[in-house]
Structure 1
Amino acid sequence: MARMHTRRRGSSDSDKPVADEPPEWSDVDEDAIEERVVELAEQGHSPSQIGLKLRDEGVKGTPIPDVKLATGKKVTEILDENDADDDLPEDLRNLMKRAIRLREHMDENPQDAQNKRALQNTQSKVRRLVDYYRGDELDADFKYSYENAKELLE
Protein backbone atom coordinates (compact mmCIF):
# COMPACT_ATOMS: atom_id res chain seq x y z
CA MET A 1 0.00 0.00 0.00
CA ALA A 2 1.30 3.45 -0.87
CA ARG A 3 1.73 6.29 1.57
CA MET A 4 -0.92 8.95 1.94
CA HIS A 5 0.85 12.04 0.59
CA THR A 6 3.45 10.43 -1.69
CA ARG A 7 3.25 7.63 -4.19
CA ARG A 8 6.11 5.69 -2.62
CA ARG A 9 5.72 2.55 -0.59
CA GLY A 10 7.02 2.32 2.94
CA SER A 11 9.45 -0.29 4.18
CA SER A 12 7.79 -3.36 5.59
CA ASP A 13 7.35 -3.54 9.33
CA SER A 14 7.80 -6.50 11.64
CA ASP A 15 4.74 -8.45 12.70
CA LYS A 16 3.77 -9.49 16.19
CA PRO A 17 4.16 -13.21 16.82
CA VAL A 18 0.92 -15.15 16.59
CA ALA A 19 -0.17 -16.23 20.05
CA ASP A 20 -3.47 -17.35 21.54
CA GLU A 21 -2.55 -17.20 25.22
CA PRO A 22 -0.05 -15.34 27.35
CA PRO A 23 3.32 -17.00 28.00
CA GLU A 24 3.63 -19.28 31.02
CA TRP A 25 6.24 -17.10 32.71
CA SER A 26 3.87 -14.10 32.73
CA ASP A 27 1.24 -15.19 35.25
CA VAL A 28 0.06 -11.87 36.69
CA ASP A 29 -3.53 -11.48 37.86
CA GLU A 30 -5.87 -9.56 35.50
CA ASP A 31 -6.98 -7.20 38.27
CA ALA A 32 -3.39 -6.27 39.08
CA ILE A 33 -2.75 -5.48 35.42
CA GLU A 34 -5.87 -3.31 35.20
CA GLU A 35 -4.92 -1.44 38.38
CA ARG A 36 -1.43 -0.77 36.97
CA VAL A 37 -2.91 0.45 33.66
CA VAL A 38 -5.19 2.92 35.46
CA GLU A 39 -2.33 4.02 37.73
CA LEU A 40 -0.08 4.74 34.73
CA ALA A 41 -2.91 6.62 32.98
CA GLU A 42 -3.40 8.83 36.05
CA GLN A 43 0.33 9.63 35.92
CA GLY A 44 -0.28 11.05 32.45
CA HIS A 45 0.94 8.24 30.18
CA SER A 46 -0.72 7.56 26.83
CA PRO A 47 -2.05 4.06 25.97
CA SER A 48 1.00 3.24 23.84
CA GLN A 49 3.35 4.37 26.62
CA ILE A 50 1.39 2.23 29.08
CA GLY A 51 1.88 -0.81 26.86
CA LEU A 52 5.62 -0.15 26.66
CA LYS A 53 5.92 0.33 30.41
CA LEU A 54 4.05 -2.92 31.09
CA ARG A 55 6.27 -4.71 28.59
CA ASP A 56 9.49 -3.31 30.09
CA GLU A 57 8.71 -2.87 33.80
CA GLY A 58 5.70 -5.10 34.22
CA VAL A 59 3.52 -5.52 37.28
CA LYS A 60 5.34 -6.42 40.51
CA GLY A 61 8.47 -7.17 38.51
CA THR A 62 6.82 -9.56 36.02
CA PRO A 63 6.71 -8.23 32.46
CA ILE A 64 3.42 -8.25 30.54
CA PRO A 65 4.23 -8.89 26.86
CA ASP A 66 0.66 -8.32 25.61
CA VAL A 67 -2.10 -6.72 27.69
CA LYS A 68 -4.86 -8.03 25.42
CA LEU A 69 -3.68 -11.64 25.78
CA ALA A 70 -3.31 -11.29 29.54
CA THR A 71 -6.64 -9.56 30.26
CA GLY A 72 -8.78 -10.10 27.17
CA LYS A 73 -9.13 -6.31 26.79
CA LYS A 74 -7.10 -3.62 25.07
CA VAL A 75 -5.47 -0.86 27.10
CA THR A 76 -7.97 1.69 25.74
CA GLU A 77 -10.90 -0.56 26.73
CA ILE A 78 -9.54 -0.82 30.28
CA LEU A 79 -9.19 2.97 30.41
CA ASP A 80 -12.76 3.45 29.10
CA GLU A 81 -14.18 1.13 31.76
CA ASN A 82 -12.38 3.00 34.54
CA ASP A 83 -13.08 6.51 33.16
CA ALA A 84 -9.34 7.23 32.93
CA ASP A 85 -9.24 7.88 29.18
CA ASP A 86 -8.28 11.17 27.55
CA ASP A 87 -10.74 13.53 25.94
CA LEU A 88 -8.90 13.14 22.59
CA PRO A 89 -7.79 9.92 20.90
CA GLU A 90 -4.04 9.40 21.02
CA ASP A 91 -3.42 9.51 17.27
CA LEU A 92 -5.35 12.76 16.88
CA ARG A 93 -3.56 14.30 19.88
CA ASN A 94 -0.13 13.43 18.42
CA LEU A 95 -1.00 14.88 15.01
CA MET A 96 -2.32 18.08 16.60
CA LYS A 97 0.91 18.45 18.59
CA ARG A 98 2.90 18.05 15.39
CA ALA A 99 0.73 20.59 13.57
CA ILE A 100 1.17 23.13 16.37
CA ARG A 101 4.92 22.59 16.41
CA LEU A 102 5.12 23.02 12.62
CA ARG A 103 2.90 26.12 12.71
CA GLU A 104 5.11 27.76 15.33
CA HIS A 105 8.16 26.91 13.22
CA MET A 106 6.50 28.45 10.16
CA ASP A 107 5.75 31.65 12.09
CA GLU A 108 9.47 32.01 12.83
CA ASN A 109 10.65 30.80 9.39
CA PRO A 110 8.12 31.79 6.72
CA GLN A 111 10.53 30.94 3.88
CA ASP A 112 10.75 27.24 4.82
CA ALA A 113 8.88 25.62 1.92
CA GLN A 114 9.51 22.02 3.00
CA ASN A 115 7.93 22.53 6.39
CA LYS A 116 5.09 24.49 4.82
CA ARG A 117 4.19 21.37 2.85
CA ALA A 118 4.66 19.20 5.94
CA LEU A 119 2.24 21.47 7.82
CA GLN A 120 -0.32 21.21 5.01
CA ASN A 121 -0.03 17.41 4.97
CA THR A 122 -0.32 17.17 8.75
CA GLN A 123 -3.35 19.45 8.87
CA SER A 124 -4.93 17.32 6.14
CA LYS A 125 -4.41 14.20 8.26
CA VAL A 126 -5.86 15.96 11.31
CA ARG A 127 -8.99 17.01 9.40
CA ARG A 128 -9.41 13.49 8.07
CA LEU A 129 -9.15 12.03 11.59
CA VAL A 130 -11.55 14.66 12.96
CA ASP A 131 -14.10 13.57 10.36
CA TYR A 132 -13.56 9.96 11.41
CA TYR A 133 -13.97 10.62 15.14
CA ARG A 134 -16.71 13.26 14.90
CA GLY A 135 -19.84 12.13 16.74
CA ASP A 136 -18.20 9.24 18.65
CA GLU A 137 -15.07 10.54 20.33
CA LEU A 138 -15.52 14.22 19.45
CA ASP A 139 -18.48 16.60 19.52
CA ALA A 140 -20.64 16.67 16.40
CA ASP A 141 -19.79 20.33 15.80
CA PHE A 142 -16.02 20.03 16.39
CA LYS A 143 -13.88 21.87 13.82
CA TYR A 144 -10.10 21.77 13.64
CA SER A 145 -8.22 25.06 13.77
CA TYR A 146 -4.83 26.05 15.12
CA GLU A 147 -6.35 28.05 17.97
CA ASN A 148 -8.78 25.25 18.86
CA ALA A 149 -5.99 22.65 18.87
CA LYS A 150 -3.71 24.83 20.96
CA GLU A 151 -6.49 25.39 23.50
CA LEU A 152 -7.28 21.66 23.69
CA LEU A 153 -3.69 20.60 24.24
CA GLU A 154 -2.91 23.09 27.02
Structure 2
Amino acid sequence: MARMHTRRRGSSGSDKPVADDPPEWSDVDAEDIEARVVELAEQDYDPSQIGMKLRDEGVTGTPIPDVKLATGKKITEILEEHDAAASVPEDFRNLVERAVRLREHMAENPQDHQNKRALQNTESKIRRLADYYRGDQLDEDFTYTYENGVELLEE
Protein backbone atom coordinates (compact mmCIF):
# COMPACT_ATOMS: atom_id res chain seq x y z
CA MET A 1 0.00 0.00 0.00
CA ALA A 2 1.28 3.47 -0.83
CA ARG A 3 2.14 6.05 1.77
CA MET A 4 -0.21 8.94 2.44
CA HIS A 5 1.84 11.89 1.17
CA THR A 6 4.24 10.24 -1.31
CA ARG A 7 3.83 7.93 -4.25
CA ARG A 8 6.29 5.39 -2.87
CA ARG A 9 5.43 2.20 -1.12
CA GLY A 10 6.76 1.54 2.34
CA SER A 11 9.01 -1.36 3.20
CA SER A 12 7.20 -4.32 4.65
CA GLY A 13 7.59 -4.91 8.37
CA SER A 14 7.56 -8.03 10.45
CA ASP A 15 4.31 -9.69 11.48
CA LYS A 16 3.45 -10.84 14.97
CA PRO A 17 3.58 -14.60 15.30
CA VAL A 18 0.21 -16.30 15.31
CA ALA A 19 -0.44 -17.59 18.82
CA ASP A 20 -3.52 -18.41 20.83
CA ASP A 21 -1.98 -18.73 24.29
CA PRO A 22 1.07 -17.24 26.01
CA PRO A 23 4.33 -19.22 26.00
CA GLU A 24 5.02 -21.58 28.90
CA TRP A 25 8.17 -19.74 29.96
CA SER A 26 6.14 -16.57 30.62
CA ASP A 27 3.88 -17.74 33.44
CA VAL A 28 3.18 -14.43 35.19
CA ASP A 29 -0.21 -13.94 36.82
CA ALA A 30 -2.65 -11.63 34.97
CA GLU A 31 -3.25 -9.50 38.10
CA ASP A 32 0.49 -8.87 38.44
CA ILE A 33 0.65 -7.77 34.82
CA GLU A 34 -2.28 -5.41 35.25
CA ALA A 35 -0.71 -3.91 38.39
CA ARG A 36 2.56 -3.35 36.52
CA VAL A 37 0.72 -1.73 33.58
CA VAL A 38 -1.06 0.71 35.92
CA GLU A 39 2.21 1.41 37.77
CA LEU A 40 3.99 2.26 34.51
CA ALA A 41 1.07 4.45 33.40
CA GLU A 42 1.34 6.41 36.65
CA GLN A 43 5.00 7.01 35.77
CA ASP A 44 3.74 8.75 32.56
CA TYR A 45 4.54 6.01 30.06
CA ASP A 46 2.43 5.73 26.91
CA PRO A 47 0.73 2.40 26.09
CA SER A 48 3.29 1.57 23.40
CA GLN A 49 6.14 2.30 25.82
CA ILE A 50 4.45 0.14 28.46
CA GLY A 51 4.31 -2.76 26.02
CA MET A 52 8.03 -2.42 25.23
CA LYS A 53 8.97 -2.20 28.90
CA LEU A 54 6.96 -5.34 29.68
CA ARG A 55 8.57 -7.09 26.73
CA ASP A 56 12.09 -6.07 27.79
CA GLU A 57 11.92 -5.96 31.59
CA GLY A 58 8.74 -7.86 32.34
CA VAL A 59 7.16 -8.38 35.74
CA THR A 60 9.51 -9.62 38.47
CA GLY A 61 12.14 -10.35 35.82
CA THR A 62 9.96 -12.53 33.59
CA PRO A 63 9.33 -10.92 30.18
CA ILE A 64 5.78 -10.59 28.88
CA PRO A 65 5.83 -11.06 25.08
CA ASP A 66 2.16 -10.14 24.55
CA VAL A 67 -0.06 -8.53 27.18
CA LYS A 68 -3.27 -9.38 25.32
CA LEU A 69 -2.41 -13.09 25.26
CA ALA A 70 -1.42 -13.09 28.93
CA THR A 71 -4.40 -11.12 30.27
CA GLY A 72 -7.06 -11.27 27.57
CA LYS A 73 -7.14 -7.45 27.47
CA LYS A 74 -5.22 -4.80 25.57
CA ILE A 75 -3.06 -2.34 27.50
CA THR A 76 -5.48 0.51 26.75
CA GLU A 77 -8.40 -1.58 28.05
CA ILE A 78 -6.50 -2.25 31.29
CA LEU A 79 -5.79 1.47 31.66
CA GLU A 80 -9.45 2.37 31.07
CA GLU A 81 -10.58 -0.12 33.72
CA HIS A 82 -8.24 1.45 36.29
CA ASP A 83 -9.02 5.05 35.25
CA ALA A 84 -5.41 5.62 34.16
CA ALA A 85 -6.08 6.14 30.45
CA ALA A 86 -4.92 9.32 28.75
CA SER A 87 -7.52 11.89 27.76
CA VAL A 88 -6.21 11.96 24.16
CA PRO A 89 -5.26 8.90 22.07
CA GLU A 90 -1.53 8.28 21.78
CA ASP A 91 -1.29 8.49 17.98
CA PHE A 92 -3.19 11.79 17.91
CA ARG A 93 -1.05 13.23 20.70
CA ASN A 94 2.18 12.28 18.89
CA LEU A 95 1.05 14.02 15.70
CA VAL A 96 0.06 17.14 17.62
CA GLU A 97 3.46 17.21 19.36
CA ARG A 98 5.19 16.98 15.99
CA ALA A 99 3.03 19.78 14.54
CA VAL A 100 3.67 22.08 17.50
CA ARG A 101 7.43 21.48 17.23
CA LEU A 102 7.36 22.14 13.48
CA ARG A 103 5.28 25.30 13.94
CA GLU A 104 7.81 26.63 16.48
CA HIS A 105 10.66 25.74 14.11
CA MET A 106 8.91 27.56 11.26
CA ALA A 107 8.53 30.68 13.43
CA GLU A 108 12.33 30.77 13.83
CA ASN A 109 13.16 29.64 10.27
CA PRO A 110 10.56 31.00 7.85
CA GLN A 111 12.59 30.07 4.75
CA ASP A 112 12.67 26.34 5.58
CA HIS A 113 10.39 25.15 2.78
CA GLN A 114 10.98 21.45 3.37
CA ASN A 115 9.70 21.67 6.94
CA LYS A 116 6.86 23.91 5.81
CA ARG A 117 5.68 21.04 3.62
CA ALA A 118 6.20 18.59 6.52
CA LEU A 119 4.03 20.83 8.72
CA GLN A 120 1.28 20.91 6.09
CA ASN A 121 1.35 17.12 5.79
CA THR A 122 1.32 16.62 9.57
CA GLU A 123 -1.59 19.00 10.06
CA SER A 124 -3.45 17.19 7.30
CA LYS A 125 -2.95 13.89 9.13
CA ILE A 126 -4.16 15.53 12.35
CA ARG A 127 -7.36 16.73 10.67
CA ARG A 128 -8.02 13.25 9.25
CA LEU A 129 -7.41 11.59 12.60
CA ALA A 130 -9.55 14.21 14.38
CA ASP A 131 -12.44 13.23 12.10
CA TYR A 132 -11.95 9.63 13.18
CA TYR A 133 -11.84 10.38 16.93
CA ARG A 134 -14.35 13.27 16.98
CA GLY A 135 -17.33 12.56 19.24
CA ASP A 136 -15.75 9.42 20.68
CA GLN A 137 -12.52 10.53 22.34
CA LEU A 138 -12.45 14.16 21.21
CA ASP A 139 -15.14 16.81 21.65
CA GLU A 140 -17.84 16.90 18.99
CA ASP A 141 -16.90 20.45 17.97
CA PHE A 142 -13.11 19.97 18.07
CA THR A 143 -11.14 21.58 15.24
CA TYR A 144 -7.37 21.56 15.15
CA THR A 145 -5.48 24.83 15.43
CA TYR A 146 -2.03 25.50 16.80
CA GLU A 147 -3.56 26.96 19.98
CA ASN A 148 -5.81 23.91 20.47
CA GLY A 149 -2.78 21.66 19.96
CA VAL A 150 -0.79 23.48 22.63
CA GLU A 151 -3.75 23.22 25.04
CA LEU A 152 -4.07 19.48 24.37
CA LEU A 153 -0.41 18.94 25.18
CA GLU A 154 -0.66 20.87 28.45
CA GLU A 155 -3.41 18.56 29.78
Residue of structure 2 in register with 1:150 after alignment: 150
Alignment of 1:123 with 2:139, yes or no, is: no
Residue 145 of structure 1, CA deviation: 0.6
For 2:31 and 2:87, how far apart are their aligned partners in 1?
24
* Aligned equivalents of 2:125, 2:152: Cα separation in 1: 17
Give the structure 2 partner of residue 27 of structure 1.
Answer: 27
TM-score, normalised by the number of residues in structure 2: 0.98
Q: Which amino acid aligns with 1:35?
A: A
Partner of 2:137: 137
What's the CA shift string for 1:128-149, capped at 9, x where partnerless? 1011000001111111110111
CA distance in 1, matches of 2:64, 2:13: 22
Aligned partner of 2:112 in structure 1 is 112
Letter in 2 for 1:10: G
Normalised by the length of structure 1, the TM-score is: 0.99
Please tell me the residue identity of whatever aligns with 1:32. Answer: D
Deviation at 1:73, TM superposition (A): 0.5
The size of the alignment, in residue pairs, is 154
Q: What is the root-mean-square deviation of aligned Cα atoms in Å?
A: 0.6
Counterpart CA distance in 1 for 2:123 and 2:87 is 20
Report the counterpart of residue 96 of structure 1 in structure 2. 96
User: Between the two proteins, what is the percent identity of the paired residues?
Assistant: 79
- Aligned partner of 2:12 in structure 1 is 12
The 1-side partners of 2:116 and 2:108 are apart by: 12
CA distance in 2, matches of 1:118, 1:45: 27
Deviation at 1:114, TM superposition (A): 0.4
Deviation for aligned residue 1:151: 1.4
Distance in 2 (alpha carbons) for counterparts of 1:38 and 1:130 = 27
Distance of 1:50 and 1:6 partners within structure 2: 31
Q: Secondary structure of the residue that 1:105 maps to in structure 2?
A: helix
Give the 5 Å matches for 1:19-98: 19-98=19-98
For 1:56 and 1:12, locate their aligned partners in 2 and report how far apart those are by CA, in whole Å.
24
Contiguous gaps of at least 5 residues in structure 1: none
Q: Distance in 2 between matches of 1:129 and 1:76?
A: 18
In 2, Cα distance between the equivalents of 1:12 and 1:152?
A: 33
Q: Give distance in 1, aligned partners of 2:46 and 2:88.
A: 11
CA distance in 1, matches of 2:115, 2:72: 42
Q: Deviations over 1:68-102 (max 9, x none)?
A: 00001100010111110000000000000000011
